[in-house]
Structure formats: C-alpha cells, structure tokens
Amino acid sequence: MSSDHVESETDADTDHGNETPTETTTTTETDTATRDPSDGTATRDELRGQLELLQAENQRLRREYVRARQTKYRRTALGLVLIGVVAVGGGALFPGSRDVLLALGGSALVAGMLTYYLTPEEFVTATVGETLATTLQATYDGLRADLNLQGKPVYVPVTSESAADARLFLPQHHDYTIPDEDALQRTIVVPAEPSQRGLAVHPSGAKLLAAFRRASEFATQPEPNPERVFDQLADGLVEQFELADQITPTVEADTRCVIAVTGSTYGAPDTFDHLLTSFVAVGAAIAFNTPTRITVQRVDDHDFVFECAWNTQDTDASDTQTSTTE
C-alpha cells in the first residue's frame, strides 16, 4: 500500500473525528431547545393539576364538615326518638306511671322530630362572620370620622313596624340630647335642635336579637328583672348562637351590669358596636325601654369584660347622655 493512500485514510479518519462532536453538540442543542418549552409546559400543567386537586380536596373537606355536623344533629334526634318510644312503651306497661311516661315520651318524640327536620343544611365558618363584622365596624369608624361625630354612641329603643327595635345613635356633639323617635327612623338625623343631630343606624346585634326573641320569652314582662334579662341574653349568645364559650353577667346596681366574656367567636371589641356588646345593649334597651351604653373595661385576646349601663329616669337631659362611653 502506498504512502499516499495511507495519508488519505488518515485524513479521512481525522475529518470524521472532527465532525462527530460537532454533530453531537448540534443535536444536543437542538434537543435542549426542543425540550425546554415542553418542560415548562409540563411544569405548568403539573401546577394546574395540583391546584385542581387542592380545590377538590378543599370541597371534599367542606362537605365532610357539613356532613359531620348534620350527623351530630341527626344522632341527637334519633336518641330523642328512642327515648320517646321507650317512654311511651313504659307507659303502656306500667299503668301507675302512665301519665308521666306518656308526657315524657311525647315531649321526646316532638323534640326528636324538630331536631331532625330543623338540622342546618349549611354552616358559616367563624372567619367569615368575623370578617363581615370587622368590615361593618370599619365602615362605622369611617363615617364617624368623615362626619366628625364627636358624641359617644348610645342605643335607643324605638318602635319599628309595630315591634320593639333599637337604633344606634352617634351624636354630632359631645353635649347632646336624644332626638325623638321619628327623627331616629332616618339615617342622617338633622332636626332643628343642633344638640340632637347625628347619625342613626341599625345596630349589628338588632337582627340577631330579633331571632332570639322569636325563639324565647325575652322581655315579655312589664317590669323585667335585670338579672333575668342579662341571664337570658348571655344564654342566647352561648347556647343558641354559640358566639362565646362562656358569658357571666353581674348586675352591680339598678342601672349597671358588668359582663365577662370568655372565648368570643368574633374576637374582642376594638371599636364600637361589636356584635356581642351590641346584642346585649339592644336587648337591654328593649327590655328596660331606655337608652343603653357600652363601656369596654378590659380586653385579653378573645376574652373581655364590658359594662352595660341604662337609665331609669328621663333620658333627654344632656348631662345624662354625656356619660356615654364605648
């Protein structure tokens, strides 16, 4: 074999050796350029899939929560029905105690049916209610600042649609008198007397108290006992609406009650017309048919102490109203 032929083969091998890395590099770059967009798309798809899974899991947990609460009510209803059946059966077997057993059985059966059919279909979490309450209080604060309302808030009983109701009156001046009932039916109160001007709004606890009154015998006596009134209001907040773990009212005078709240669902009152204090103030105003005022004395996270004061005499005097605090 000639030397020229050997050199040609060597050059060819060298050329092929040089070309191979170049082709590999080009192919790798092409593959990388091709894969990058697809990898990004795959990542977005994965994130979207994870988000959908989280949303589905959140909905499932909500349904499970509602189902668990409904199951609790229905088990209670079933227990009451069983007690009623046993009591009625006992009345048939024991003639001597028939009247008592039949009365007990009938009451248990009725309570069981009511519990079953009145089981709530939906539950609102505490954070939703707390957010709404905070928004309402922020709105009141904004109105009070923009309108330069300097007086202290006072809850005034009024008659609305043939039923007892109340208004939260925010006076314009420090020294003020409460306007008449017709003036309080308007939101912007501007009577001829400057000391009666201000803002009259529906208290946050008014509708809640209306629901409580439909389910109880609240404020039906001509001259209600203050201890009974505040005990009823405390039971309503704890047992019916579950807005606190415990509420302890202490009537210290004929016109003053100190109330200790433990485990408030909506936190502590950092401004006026907190839902719990508003409920108590409106209830006292309607029960005693006189204006009431709220004074928050101590706050510790979700526990707080406040005072509800009311007047037993003429409430139109300005010196009486200037003691209002919240």
- Measured CA distances, 82 to 90, 101, 103, 109, 289 (Å): 12, 13, 14, 8, 45
Residue 215 lies in a domain: yes
46-74 residue pLDDT tens = 888 888 888 887 777 767 766 666 677 77
Q: Say whether both 67 and 196 belong to one domain.
A: no
For the residues 239-261, what does the mean pLDDT come to? 92
Number of domains observed in the structure of the chain: 2
Residue 122 lies in a domain: no
Query: Can you point out the beta strands (E) in the chain?
Result: 154-160, 163-171, 188-189, 198-201, 246-253, 256-262, 292-300, 303-310
Per-residue pLDDT band for 209 (boundaries 50, 70, 90) equals very high
Phi, psi (5° rounding) for residue 307? -115, 135
Q: Say whether both 140 and 183 belong to one domain.
A: yes
Residue 275 lies in a domain: yes
Cα gap 107→160, rounded to integer Å? 36
Q: Say whether both 165 and 63 belong to one domain.
A: no
Q: What's the token pair of residue 122?
A: 């939906």
Residue 326 lies in a domain: no
133-161 residue pLDDT tens = 778 878 888 888 888 999 999 999 998 66
Average pLDDT, whole number, for the chain?
Answer: 78
Q: Say whether both 53 and 176 belong to one domain.
A: no
Q: Say whether both 111 and 146 belong to one domain.
A: no
Q: Say whether both 102 and 248 belong to one domain.
A: no
Boundaries of domain holding 58:
3-117
Residue 297 lies in a domain: yes
Cα gap 177→154, rounded to integer Å? 11
Among 83, 117, 151, where does a domain finish?
117
The torsion of the CA quartet 318, 176, 169, 139, rounded to 10 degrees, works out to: -140
What is the pTM for the complete model shown?
Answer: 0.61
Q: Say whether both 249 and 315 belong to one domain.
A: yes
Look at strands 256-262 and 246-253 and give their pairing. antiparallel
3-class secondary structure, 316: coil
Q: Say whether both 151 and 288 belong to one domain.
A: yes
Residue 123 lies in a domain: no
With 80 as the cut, is the pLDDT of residue 298 above it? yes
Among 117, 146, 162, where does a domain finish?
117
